[in-house]
Amino acid sequence: MTALDEAWSGAADLLGGTERELLQARSAAAMLAVARWATHSALARTETRGMHVRTDLPDADPAQTRRPLSGGLGEVWVRPERGTAEARTVAS
């Protein structure tokens, strides 16, 4: 995670150029942002679930029915989604 956060802090210096270079730089910055959100979310979940496999926590935790939501650019935040999986199913 540290490497991703360090890369993000230096990314603003590289977001220049013209036309094609600018498009490529912004695409790379978007991919870096998603990598940071995914990594922070994975580390916040203290279980193995679906494609998210943790060797230090190999079992699913039935108490963790909320999806982690993440966002932020300068500082990434992660919080559990409001409500439960059952509430989301009924609302759908």
Q: Is residue 47 a contact partner of residue 56, using CB atoms and an 8 Å limit?
A: no
Least trusted range by pLDDT, from 63-67, 70-74, 88-92: 88-92
Residues 6+ away with beta carbon under 8 Å from 76: 5, 36, 37, 40, 70
Predicted confidence (pLDDT) per residue in 28-37, tens digit: 889 999 999 9
Residue 14 to residues 3, 48, 63, 84, Cα–Cα distance (Å): 16, 36, 43, 41
Q: Which helix (H) or strand (E) holds 35?
A: helix 19-44
Break the chain into its structural domains and give their ranges.
Answer: 2-91
pTM here is 0.72
- Cα gap 53→25, rounded to integer Å: 31
Predicted confidence (pLDDT) per residue in 41-58, tens digit: 888 888 888 777 889 989
